[in-house]
Amino acid sequence: MIISVASGKGGTGKTLVAVNLALSLDKAQIIDCDVEEPNVHLFLKPDIASILSFKLPVPKILEEKCDYCGECARFCQYHALFVVDNTALVFSELCHSCGGCSIVCPRKAIMEEPREIGRIMKGSAGPIDLVYGELNIGEPSAVSLIAAIKKHINIEDTVILDAPPGAACPFVETIQGSDFCLLVTEPTPFGLHDLEIAVKVVKELSIPMGVVVNFAGIGDKGVFKFCNQHNLPIMMEIPFDRRIAELYSKGIPFVEEMPEWKLRFKQLAGLIEGERDA
């Protein structure tokens, strides 16, 4: 089973839920898809077994062949190529590595060369296997690296995908293909606003979903009313608790110090399986 833990809003506690859920299972694989700011490893403190460079092909203009006709620039929908007079420029950060420019070039004046945009780390912490990516600073698009780390999914385990915040392309790339999406929110107007957006996206992808309310006890009842109106099951509430916050600030998953929560997260996994099969 592949469970994506996501949210339309940053700071709701996606990583908190993902890590503590994984630690409550007998065996699991967790994949940190927040490649711009991965932090699962800060809590699991894994032994890293391998570090893989992730590269994408980008065009290189062969000046001795190019006649500056501009076909490549007209083809590129992302404006990664610019041709004027006797100058051809490549903006590699905008390139989506489709390879189309080299195909349409009438003089075969474009070749592709690899460019590193990030790294993939694989390791383990006890019974938990961890995979996460790190996007190089300044890279504008995380989607290709997220797709690459998802290729390391081990379908023989329960797989937990820790999604990036927001509801844009990296969010979609992470959750697509999941058996269930667990949306983590907070009971505030901001939490409700971004939960509504995330729910619309998950519905478009036809993925079963449920909600975890973190920081329960603060804010208002808007999130609870919304979930009731849209038949969204609230599968767990995590209270606004000083002890949980202190453990989190020290990089300690709270199920390790509060064992009663390990049983609750096991029950959450059972609820997820039941909702998925419903």
CATH number, domain at 213? 3.40.50.300
Residue 137 resides in a domain:
no
Q: Is 169 in the same domain as 260? A: yes
Q: Please state whether the predicted TM-score (pTM) of the whole model is above 0.85.
A: yes
What's residue 8's pLDDT?
A: 86
Looking at residue 274, its pLDDT comes to: 85
Please state, in angstroms and rounded to a whole number, the distance separating the CA atoms of residues 164 and 151. Answer: 17
Residue 147 falls inside a structural domain:
no
Do both 109 and 195 map to the same domain?
Answer: no
Alpha carbon distance 72, 90 (integer Å) = 10
How sure is the predictor about 104, in pLDDT bands with cuts at 50, 70 and 90?
A: very high
CATH, residue 61: 3.30.70.20
Question: For residue 277, what pLDDT is reported?
Answer: 73
Q: What pLDDT is recorded for position 164?
A: 96
How many angstroms separate the CA atoms of 135 and 145, rounded? 7
Q: Tell me what pLDDT residue 3 has.
A: 98
pLDDT of residue 198: 97
Share of the chain above pLDDT 90, in %: 94
DSSP, collapsed to helix, strand or coil, labels residue 258 as coil
**Cβ count within 10 A of residue 201:** 18
In this prediction, residue 275 carries a pLDDT of 81
The answer to whether residue 50 sits within a structural domain is: no
272 in Cβ contact with 180 (< 8 Å):
yes
**81 belongs to a structural domain:** yes
Please state the domain count of the chain.
2
The pLDDT value recorded for residue 9 is: 87
Using CA atoms, how far apart are residues 228 and 241, in angstroms rounded to an integer? 25
Are residues 229 and 161 part of one domain? yes
Shared domain for 10 and 76, answered yes or no, is no
C-alpha closest to that of 159 among 62, 267, 29 = 29
pLDDT tens digits, 234-272: 999 999 999 999 999 999 999 999 999 999 999 999 999
**Judgement on whether residues 16 and 96 belong to the same structural domain of the protein:** no
Distance CA 124, CA 162 (A): 16
The whole domain housing 75 covers 56-116
Same-domain status, 22 and 70: no
Is 225 part of a structural domain of the chain? yes
Mean pLDDT value of segment 86-113: 95
Residues 174 and 245 in one domain: yes
**259 within a domain of the structure (yes/no):** yes
Q: Give per-residue pLDDT as tens, 188-242.
A: 999 999 999 999 999 999 999 999 999 999 989 999 999 999 999 999 999 999 9
For residue 145, what are the CA distances in angstroms to 14, 33, 67, 131, 224? 20, 9, 34, 12, 35
Residue 186 is assigned to a structural domain of this protein: yes
**213 lies in some domain:** yes
Average pLDDT over residues 2-30: 95
Q: How many residues in total does the chain contain?
A: 278
Residue 16: HSE in the Cβ half-sphere, 13 Å Cα cutoff: 26
Say if residue 10's pLDDT is above 90: no
Instruction: Give me the mean pLDDT over the 156-177 stretch.
Output: 96
Does 181 share its domain with 230?
yes
CA atoms of 187 and 223, how far apart (whole Å) = 6
Cα four-point dihedral sign 74, 76, 77, 81: negative
272 plus 168 within the same structural domain: yes
Which whole-number Å values give the CA distances from 251 to 55, 57, 71, 99, in the listed order?
31, 37, 53, 43
Whether residues 7 and 66 share a domain: the answer is no
Structure confidence by residue, pLDDT tens digits, 34-68? 999 999 999 999 999 999 999 999 999 999 999 99
Question: Are residue 188 and residue 257 in the same domain, yes or no?
Answer: yes
Share of the chain above pLDDT 70, in %: 100
